Chain A
C-alpha cells in the first residue's frame, strides 16, 4: 500500500533553521501537506504544495518537492520555541483522495 516515511525526532537551537524530510510512494499524489500538532491538540494545516510545483514559500516556511525522488521537505527559518510540535507529512493518494500520513516528526527547539 501507499506509505509516507519521516524521521521521528529533530532537535534544533532557537534561531537556527529546521528541515524536516519526508518520502512518499504514490506517484499519482496530487497534493502534499504539512500539518502541525501542538501538545494535546488536533492537527492544524501548515502548508501544502500541488504536485506540479517544486517549491512554495510562505513567510518562514519553505516547502521543497522533488517529484522524481518522491521527496518532500519543510524548512522553518529562524526556528522559535513556539515551533516545538509534531509535524506530519501527508500525501493525498490518487485513487480515493484519502490522506496518508507519516508517523510525525517531533521537533524540539532548545533555547
Chain B
C-alpha cells in the first residue's frame, strides 16, 4: 500500500514562529503537493513539486515556501506563522499515471 506520512497530526504554534510541516511518501512518486483545507473553501493548492529540487506555486503560495531535497520528502515552511494560517494541511503524492494519495493531515493552530 502507498503510504503518505505527515509528521504531525496536531500542532500549536505562536504567531511569528517558523513552522515546518514534513511529508514523506514511500512509493517513489515524482509529484508531491501541499494543500490547505478550510471550511467552505475546500482544498486549495499551496505548492507542488514535479521532481527533486523543483517547485511550482499553486493558487495560494503567499506566506509559504517549500523544500524538496529528496524525492520522498516534501516540506512546507511557514516563515513567520500568522493566525490566518490556522488550517488543516494535507500533503499528497502521485506518479504520472496514478491518482493522488493523501496523508492524514496536520491540523495547525497559530495562536
Contact = CB atoms under 8 A, between A and B. Distances in A.
A98 B99 CA distance: 10
B102 A43 contact: yes
Contacts, number: 46
B90 A43 contact: yes
B42 A103 contact: yes
Contacts of A88: 42-43
Given A8-B40, A101-B43, A45 B99 contact: yes
Nearest to A42: B102
B99 A102 contact: no
Interface in B3-30: 4
Contacts of B102: 35, 42-44
Contacts of A35: 102
Mostly, the B contact residues are strand
Given A42-B90, A43-B90, A88-B43, A97 B100 contact: no
Given A42-B102, A45-B99, A98 B42 contact: no
Given A88-B42, A101-B42, A41 B105 contact: yes
A25 B107 CA distance: 31
Nearest to B107: A40
A8 B101 CA distance: 23
Nearest to B35: A101
Given A42-B90, A43-B90, A98-B48, A103 B101 contact: no
A97 B45 CA distance: 13
B99 A33 contact: yes
B42 A42 contact: no
Contacts of A99: 33, 92, 100
A42 B37 CA distance: 10
Interface of A: 8, 31, 33, 35, 40-45, 48, 88, 90, 97-99, 101-104
11 contacts: A33-B100, A42-B103, A43-B90, A45-B101, A88-B42, A88-B43, A98-B48, A99-B92, A101-B35, A101-B43, A103-B41
